[in-house]
Structure 1
Amino acid sequence: MATWNSRGLRGSTLEDFINLANEKYQQSNLALIQKIPTPIKPIKIDKDTRHITLAYFDMKSTVDYIGVVQGIPVCFDAKETAVDIFPLQNIHEHQVNFMSDFEKQQGISFIILYFSSRDEFYYVPFCDIINFWNRGKNGGRKSFTYDEIDKSYRIHASKGVPVHYLDALQKDIMSRD
């Protein structure tokens, strides 16, 4: 079992940017998106500060974020890679299953992927995620590369929002019609 303090602050900057975007979207009445906390089971608590110093993940989480954008249900995960390859092992099967079930209920699922070495953010639609996932399950490459990402889904900063993903979401919605 992994402890919550064993992974350091990996991905926290990406989530901070997304949280800021979500706050701006809510203030502008564009969306209501919430960060879903990963349930933990405390093991050690500092008696003086009453802070949790050691804990284990209690159960599998679904995705990082869930909410609604102008009446459209959305769920997504925030992922980061320091290289031009993203291993599919960083997306868990229960997450793919949740996103698939979410899509079956007329929701929109996606990943926001940050290539930190390039300082580039991308919206990866569920249709691409499931294609990469199935390729790996069927004996093919168990990762996808920067070159395989649809560059038209690049996310840019806009209007004070560092990761303004609503334009990419709109493009995804339009491609489904």
Structure 2
Amino acid sequence: MGTWNSRGLRGSTLEDLINRTNERYQEMGLALIQKIPTPITPVKMDKEHRQITLAYFDQRSTVDYIGAVQGIPVCFDAKECVADTFPLQNIHRHQVTFMEGYEKQGGLSFLIIFFSARNILYYMRHDEMLAFWKRAEDGGRKSFRFDELDPRFLMELKNGCYVPYLDAMNLDLELREQLDKE
């Protein structure tokens, strides 16, 4: 069981951007994606400010977002990285397991990674994430570098506040379709 504290808010800027994007996609009738709250048990409260100051996670969370995009079940997690090297320890085994199960049920899972020093977003396909994960399990690097990523899945913020993941998701689906035909 981990302890909740302000460190968990590191990705809140990215989550705010994704939440705004999801609201826009919903308004446009393109997608219905919901942020999954992490269940916590409060231990200490600041009654004057009505804030939780210490809490424990009730259970391991799965992914940050879940929903549907025009009939396709979708789940994804948002990650933030300051450096050009992303440590795989930021992706937890239970998340990988959940995403694998989601894919087996016909859903689409992926990561959105924000490389904050570059101000660049990346849509990491499920298969790509698994390849890096397997490499680490097989004794290889326990991280991946920015220059190892597929440039077709780099995303820039649109209008300064929207994460255009539907474009990348469409490309992901096209690649999956090509693989199925081979």
TM-score by length of 2: 0.92
Kindly report which structure 2 residues correspond to 1:7-46, keeping only aligned pairs within 5 A, or say none: 7=7, 9-46=9-46
More helix, by proportion: 2
* Structure 1: tracts of 5 or more residues without a match: none
Kindly report which structure 2 residues correspond to 1:36-115, keeping only aligned pairs within 5 A, or say none: 36-115=36-115
Determine helix, strand or coil for the equivalent of 1:123.
Answer: strand
> 2:121·2:157 contact (CA, 8 Å) conserved in 1?
no
Aligned counterpart, 2:152 = 152
Cα deviation for residue 156 of structure 1 reads: 2.5
Counterpart AA for 1:135: R
> 1:24·1:161 contact (CA, 8 Å) conserved in 2?
no
Counterpart AA for 1:175: L
Counterpart AA for 1:70: Q
CA distance in 2, matches of 1:168, 1:46: 43
CA distance in 2, matches of 1:28, 1:79: 26
Deviation sequence 1:30-76 (CA, Å, 0-9, x none): 00000001110110123344432211111100000000000000100
State the number of aligned residues: 177
**Deviates most, 90-99 or 151-160:** 151-160
CA distance in 1, matches of 2:101, 2:29: 27
1:122 equivalent to 2:125? Answer no
Aligned residues with identical type, % of pairs? 61
Counterpart AA for 1:81: C
Determine helix, strand or coil for the equivalent of 1:7.
Answer: helix
Aligned counterpart, 2:180 = none
**Deviates most, 2-11 or 24-33:** 2-11
